[in-house]
Amino acid sequence: QVQLQESGPGLVKPSQTLSLTCTVSGGSLSSGVYFWSWIRQYPGKGLEWIGNIYHSGATYYNPSLKSRLTVSVDTSENQFSLRLSSVTAADTAVYYCARVGAYGYCISTNCHAPFDLWGQGALVTVSS
């Protein structure tokens, strides 16, 4: 079955760029049916949606992060990635990649659908 796995540095210095990759296994990221997302969970357990991407490269971001955020896709590697610039301690969180679109629909990567599959998560700590 399809699985998602996050990878990347666990420690990032303040003001630098946080980079994570999500590898999709057991299925194709380019299937056309699904969209792909990043979500983070703060140490206090609150969850925040970061953004969506389609295999075409079209994106849809949370406005609160848009100025610092880049989400990209590499269909040849069956991966999609997150880059968040100018990080501070407030960006310390567990970062999850997820799939969206199995239930509901998406219009131009703005999805009215829940996250039906999640990765295990990757803890990223921002500290000097």
Partner 1 sequence: EIVLTQSPGTLSLSPGERATLSCRASQSISSTYLAWYQQKPGQGPRLLIYHTSSRATGIPDRFSGSGSGTDFTLTISRLEPEDFAVYYCQQYDSSPITFGGGTTVEIK
Give yes or no for residue 118 binding partner 1 (CB under 8 A): yes
Q: Report helix, strand or coil for 90.
A: helix
| Subset of residues 34 to 63 that bind partner 1, contact rule: CB under 8 A | 45-49, 60, 62-63
Stretch that binds partner 1, among 13-21, 25-33, 74-82, 98-106 (CB under 8 A): 98-106
The residue type at 29: L
Instruction: Judge residue 41's burial from the number of C-beta atoms within 10 Å of its C-beta, 0-12 exposed, 13-18 middle, 19 or more buried.
Output: middle
Phi–psi pair at 68, nearest 5 degrees: -115, 0
Q: Which stretch binds partner 1 (CB under 8 A): 16-24, 28-36, 72-80, 114-122?
A: 114-122
**Which parts of this chain interact with partner 1 (CB under 8 A)?**
45-49, 60, 62-64, 96, 98, 103-104, 110-121
